[in-house]
């Protein structure tokens, strides 16, 4: 399973992270464009490997191209937003009980499928149950509790109080018609519908859905083309074959910044690139050893050399986009102290330890190699082992066979989101094998607290401090993201992660 598929609220990054380049055109498109105009066809390129193409909205969507198509054809219950960081899509509203355990989601009155039939609560309930049976982490509720509860509402119950359920249901909770075991017809509810016969191997032509329950989309059509590499994607936007290159890569960004016919949409801190250290088994269980590793890294050098300077230094806590994120003193390189901690822990520096990586995001292997080289200064010998993606996820990811591994999260999401998905002891995708009773207690307290309350903020602060003190991630940096577009493209979304798939407000200036 691909990590980008796993992180159900904002994944599907594709084969390469994008980096922003400096230049006069690096602002978002739109100024000087006047009033939005309907009409036109947008040609958008997205990354995707032929071996990973998936046409089922309930499948594991590893390709950018697949996730883009699904996000336009189908409606999830909720989607990313700026402030707050979640808003409704197929869910018009939601309520919960005093314990924040029983939740009711209400559907829009006008919601219909692309064949004209109305969206029923039974369709939503069946879709959530089916998705949850296939991949339980995508639907973190008691599946048997998901039932229609009125003419336009669906009720579900979380096993424990969970104030973050709308956020945890973002993006991949697509709705199909009840009983749709064959979903190759792409009958969704989204702002665009599949043009019959146009879908081929991750490429598709989408047509505006004039009966969509939201504001009427502006574009007549969106043509999605899958590209195997950032080089091919960059060549296509430079050559005028497409109008938007989604996640175009640093080379395209640098070139585009000097061309008046192209513009950039920059998404700061779009992707975190930590090293995952297993904490409850293997050679790095002593917190002093993990602290030594963190102190052995020159983070600024990593940003400059791995990301060409287009990113920001990380401080070992996931969730830097959270409003409750605490700015604590930056952990800096201290080789002397790192060596002392290794000596105090009686760590075996004569051995060589594997760091498992794969070529999935931009310069991921190069980041691992620089990480290993820097740790030589504190006496650690690290051997970088590059695996094929399938081998990595089948045999190494979240397993003792990878005491050190590269990770990438295509989102700048909330502290509680990451606590839920990969850090609490009960998570089935806890890639650092982090099992900390105090962390789990703070996590439960956060779930039980009302959002924006003092109790919630206190719980988030505690979660961050525990991560910082003894967690398993070395978050050395956050990479910026960027799309390259023709200069007549307006209204491209600027949200990080898969907020960039919301193209219903995009338009073309003629």
- Tell me the DSSP string of 104-123: EEE--TT-B-TTSPBP-HHH
15 within a domain of the structure (yes/no)? no
Residue 310 in contact with residue 477, Cβ under 8 Å?
no
d(C-alpha 310, C-alpha 480), whole Å: 6
pLDDT at 10: 39
- Angle formed by the axes of helices 287-295 and 454-470, to 10°? 80
* 307 and 449 share one domain: yes
Section 25-37 average pLDDT: 57
Prediction pTM value: 0.82
- Structure confidence at residue 20 as a pLDDT band (50, 70, 90): very low
CATH value at residue 208: 3.40.190.10
pLDDT band, residue 410 (cuts 50/70/90)? low
Q: Which two tokens stand for residue 168?
A: 């945890």
108: pLDDT strictly greater than 80: yes
E strand map for 228-323: 244-245, 262-272, 275-277, 311-313
Looking at the structure of the chain, the number of domains it has is 3
Distance in Å from the first CA to the final CA of the chain: 43
* Residue 473, H or E segment: strand 473-474
Q: Which of 136, 155, 178 is the last residue of a domain?
A: 178
Whether 185 contacts 114, CB under 8 Å: no
The contacts of residue 242 (CB under 8 Å, 6+ apart) are 43, 44, 45, 225, 236
Burial grade of 260 (CB within 10 A; 0-12, 13-18, 19 or more): exposed
Whether 416 shows a pLDDT value over 80: the answer reads: yes
pLDDT above 60 for 347: yes
Q: Which one is predicted more confidently, 9 or 445?
A: 445
Mention every residue, 6+ apart, whose C-beta is less than 8 A from residue 47: 14, 15, 16, 63, 64, 65, 226, 227, 228, 229, 230, 233, 246, 247
Higher pLDDT, 469 or 30: 469
Q: How far apart are CA 315 and CA 220, in angstroms?
A: 44
Q: Is residue 510 within 8 Å of 490, Cβ to Cβ?
A: no
What's the pLDDT at 176? 97
Q: What is the mean pLDDT of the chain?
A: 89
Tokens 């910026």 sit on residue: 480
Q: Are residues 307 and 452 in the same domain?
A: yes
- Residue 80 CA, distance from chain mean position: 10
Do residues 374 and 436 both lie within one domain? Answer: yes
CA 121 – CA 117 distance, rounded (Å): 13
Shared domain for 118 and 55, answered yes or no, is: no
Are residues 233 and 316 located together in one domain of the fold?
no
Q: Does a structural domain hold residue 465?
A: yes
CA distance 241 to 239: 6
Answer yes or no: is pLDDT of 187 > 80: yes
Domain range holding 134?
78-178
* The pair of three-digit structure tokens given for residue 7, joined into one six-digit string: 């992180």
Q: What is the pLDDT of residues 287-334, one digit of tens each?
A: 999 999 999 999 999 999 998 887 899 999 998 888 899 999 999 999
| Residue 438 and residue 342 share a domain | yes
Q: Is residue 121 in a domain?
A: yes
| pLDDT of 32 over the 70 cut | no
**Which range has the worst mean pLDDT, 90-99, 267-276, 337-346?**
267-276
Q: Are residues 393 and 461 in the same domain?
A: yes
Let me know if residue 7 belongs to a domain: no
Query: What pLDDT, in 10s, does the model give residues 191-232?
Result: 999 999 999 999 999 999 999 999 999 999 999 999 998 889
pLDDT tens per residue, range 38-76: 999 999 999 998 988 999 999 988 788 999 999 999 999
Q: Is the dihedral of CA 287, 430, 482, 31 positive or negative?
A: negative
Q: What is the CATH number of the domain that holds 106?
A: 3.90.76.10
Nearest to 11 by CA among 80, 91, 73: 80
Weakest mean pLDDT among 10-24, 157-171, 470-484:
10-24
- Per residue in 442-453, pLDDT tens? 999 999 998 889
Phi-psi region of 398 (alpha: psi -120 to 50; beta: other; left: phi over 0): left
Nearest partner of 104 among 162, 146, 160, 164, judged by Cα: 146
pLDDT greater than 50 at residue 7: no
Report pLDDT digits (tens) over 257-296: 899 999 988 888 888 999 999 999 999 999 999 999 999 9
Is residue 13 situated within a structural domain?
Answer: no
Q: Are residues 82 and 141 in the same domain?
A: yes
Tell me what pLDDT residue 412 has: 60
Please report which helix (H) or strand (E) contains residue 165, including its range.
Answer: helix 165-168
- Together in a domain, 503 and 466: no
Tell me the C-alpha distance between 17 and 47, whole Å: 10
Helices (H), 198-286: 230-238, 250-256
Same domain for 202 and 54: yes
> What is the pLDDT at residue 360?
78
The answer as to whether 131 is a domain residue is yes
Specify if 45 maps to a domain: yes
CATH number at residue 363: 3.10.105.10
> How many residues are recorded in the chain?
510
Q: Give CA–CA dist 249/466, Å, rounded.
A: 34
Q: Which of 127, 147, 178 is the last residue of a domain?
A: 178
Same domain, 363 and 441: yes
Domain check: are 306 and 349 in the same one?
yes
Share of the chain above pLDDT 70, in %: 93
């Amino acid at each position: 399973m691909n990590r980008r598929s796993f992180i159900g609220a904002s994944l599907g990054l594709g084969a390469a992270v994008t980096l922003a380049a400096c230049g006069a055109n690096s602002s978002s498109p739109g100024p000087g464009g006047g009033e939005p105009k309907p009409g036109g066809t947008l040609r958008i390129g997205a990354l995707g490997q032929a071996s990973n193409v998936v046409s089922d909205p309930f499948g594991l969507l590893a390709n950018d191209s697949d996730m883009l198509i699904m996000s336009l054809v189908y409606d999830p219950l909720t989607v990313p937003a700026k402030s707050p960081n979640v808003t409704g899509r197929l869910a018009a509203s939601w309520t919960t009980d005093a314990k924040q355990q029983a939740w009711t989601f209400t559907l829009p009155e006008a919601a219909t499928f692309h064949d004209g039939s109305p969206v029923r609560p039974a369709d939503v309930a069946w879709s959530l149950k089916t998705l949850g049976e296939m991949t339980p982490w995508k639907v973190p509720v008691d599946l048997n509790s998901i039932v229609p509860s009125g003419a336009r509402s669906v009720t579900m119950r979380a096993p424990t109080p969970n104030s973050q359920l709308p956020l945890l249901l973002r993006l991949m909770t697509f709705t199909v018609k009840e009983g749709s075991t064959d979903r190759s017809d792409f009958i969704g509810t989204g702002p665009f519908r599949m043009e019959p016969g146009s879908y081929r191997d991750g490429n598709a032509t989408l047509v505006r859905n004039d009966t969509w329950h939201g504001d009427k989309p502006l574009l007549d059509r969106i043509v999605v083309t899958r590209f195997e590499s950032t080089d091919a994607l960059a060549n296509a936007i430079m050559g005028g074959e497409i109008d938007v290159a989604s996640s175009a890569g640093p080379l395209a960004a640098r070139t585009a910044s000097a061309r008046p016919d192209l513009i950039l949409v920059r998404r700061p801190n779009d992707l975190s690139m930590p090293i995952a250290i297993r904490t409850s088994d293997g050679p790095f269980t002593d917190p002093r050893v993990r602290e030594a590793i963190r102190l052995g890294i020159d983070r600024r050098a990593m940003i400059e050399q791995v990301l060409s300077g287009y990113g920001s230094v990380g401080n070992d806590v996931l969730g830097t986009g959270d409003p409750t994120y605490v700015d604590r003193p930056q952990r800096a390189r201290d080789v002397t102290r790192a060596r002392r901690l290794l000596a105090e822990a009686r760590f075996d520096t004569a051995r060589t330890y594997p760091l498992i990586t794969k070529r999935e995001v931009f310069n991921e292997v190069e980041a691992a190699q620089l990480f290993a080289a820097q740790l030589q200064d504190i006496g650690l010998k690290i051997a970088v082992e590059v695996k094929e993606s399938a081998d990595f996820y089948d045999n190494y990811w979240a397993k003792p066979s990878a005491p050190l591994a590269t990770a990438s999260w295509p989102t700048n999401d909330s502290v509680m989101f990451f606590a839920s998905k990969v850090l609490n002891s009960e998570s089935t995708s806890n890639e650092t094998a982090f099992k900390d009773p105090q962390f789990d207690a703070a996590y439960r307290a956060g779930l039980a607290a009302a959002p924006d309350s003092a109790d919630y903020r206190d719980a988030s602060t505690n979660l961050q401090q525990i991560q910082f003190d003894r967690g398993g991630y070395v978050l050395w940096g956050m990479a910026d993201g960027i799309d390259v577009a023709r200069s007549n493209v307006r209204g491209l979304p600027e949200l990080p992660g898969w907020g960039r798939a919301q193209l219903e407000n995009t338009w073309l200036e003629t």
